[in-house]
Amino acid sequence: MRPKIVARNVVKTYKSKDGDILAIDDFSLEVAEGEFVCIVGPSGCGKSTFLRILAGLTPLTAGTVDIARDAKAQKPLNSMVFQEYAIYPWKTVRDNVAFGLEMRGVSKHTRYVIAEDWLKRVGLLKFANYYPHQLSGGMKQRVSIARALANDPEVLLMDEPLGALDAQMRTVLQGELLNLWEIDRKTVVYITHSIDEAILLGDRVIVMTAHPGKIKMEFTIEIPRPRMIETMSTPEFALQKGIIWEALKDEVARVYGEQL
């Protein structure tokens, strides 16, 4: 079967006054239909850049990226959860969540029903009429997640979607994400800096090298589904975590070494 996402030899350089910055160097990735792929890597290695390239928001310098469109599905191709939330200060929480639907011309009534359903699932229904400046960072991030899920795309691109949440809320939403994903098994590319989260959610975990970002190693997570939060306390989980940390720690050390 043809993979859903194919990225081949992607290179990205940013132009700047002090010469070019090589953000991504020769990055190739295939994601199957319905696969949940997690990418971990040290800060500044080009994870967000790669996701933006997948979303078609940033032009690439060399290489190719292709997402196979399902003509029958009549859905938006991809929706992104931005690391910076990118929700609109001038829209209420409800209108922010309904944003993608509104852009596609879904009637007000229908899109509000859908938006409120998602707000309920991320625990923000009470805040539907609030403006973002009245929310905490974690609440804004949940609005951003709800906006992407409400848009029901073929591919979900999530850039550290739980990054701003406290540990408890994070655990709750990890569990919620697992449940949601089990329902329709969407294709997901998920960036996180938590190895735990990557193993818990992913079918595959990609470890990137420090700047410029390349694939350092790839792990297939064999832990059977459906997984739950309790899966994190199994011995096989701990084993998997040890192996991945072994691959990642040199890269993290390199980043800090360079910065010192």
Ligand X SMILES: Nc1ncnc2c1ncn2[C@@H]1O[C@H](COP(=O)(O)OP(=O)(O)OP(=O)(O)O)[C@@H](O)[C@H]1O
From 14-22, 97-105, 150-158, 214-222, give the range in contact with ligand X by CB under 6 A: 14-22
- With beta carbons less than 8 A apart as the criterion, state whether 207 and 216 touch: yes
Specify the residue, 14 or 256, whose C-beta has the smaller distance to another protein.
Answer: 14
Specify the residue, 46 or 132, whose C-beta has the smaller distance to another protein.
Answer: 132
- With beta carbons less than 8 A apart as the criterion, state whether 69 and 47 touch: no
Q: Which residues contact 179 (CB under 8 A, 6 or more apart)?
A: none
Specify the residue, 43 or 110, whose C-beta has the smaller distance to Mg ion.
Answer: 43
From 14-22, 73-81, 106-114, 242-250, give the range in contact with another protein by CB under 8 A: 73-81
CB atoms within 10 A of CB 28: 13
Q: Which two tokens stand for residue 64?
A: 């190719």
Specify the residue, 34 or 137, whose C-beta has the smaller distance to ligand X.
Answer: 137
Specify the residue, 228 or 256, whose C-beta has the smaller distance to ligand X.
Answer: 256
Question: Hey, which residues between 184 and 213 contact another protein (CB under 8 A)?
Answer: none
Question: Shortest distance, CB of residue 132 to another protein, whole angstroms?
Answer: 8
**89, burial (CB in 10 Å: exposed 0-12, middle 13-18, buried 19+):** exposed
48 binds ligand X (CB under 6 A): yes
CA–CA gap between residue 251 and residue 40 (Å, rounded)? 11
Q: Which one among 12, 47, 52, 142 touches another protein, defined by CB under 8 A?
A: 52
Site string for ligand X, 65-104 (x = CB under 6 A): ------------------x---------------------
CA–CA gap between residue 124 and residue 210 (Å, rounded)? 37
From 29-37, 131-139, 174-182, 195-203, give the range in contact with another protein by CB under 8 A: 131-139
Q: Which residues contact 228 (CB under 8 A, 6 or more apart)?
A: 175, 178
Q: Which one among 27, 46, 158, 206 touches ligand X, defined by CB under 6 A?
A: 46
Question: Shortest distance, CB of residue 115 to another protein, whole angstroms?
Answer: 13
192 binds ligand X (CB under 6 A): no
Comparing CA positions, the residue from 200, 196, 209, 202 lying closest to residue 242 is 196
Find residue 189's DSSP bridge partners: 37, 157
- With beta carbons less than 8 A apart as the criterion, state whether 34 and 186 touch: yes
**Does an H or E element contain 12, and which?**
strand 5-14
- Binding positions for another protein, rule: CB under 8 A: 52, 55, 57, 76, 78-80, 82, 84, 86-91, 99-100, 102-104, 131-133, 147, 151
- Binding positions for ligand X, rule: CB under 6 A: 14, 16, 21, 23, 41, 43-49, 83, 211
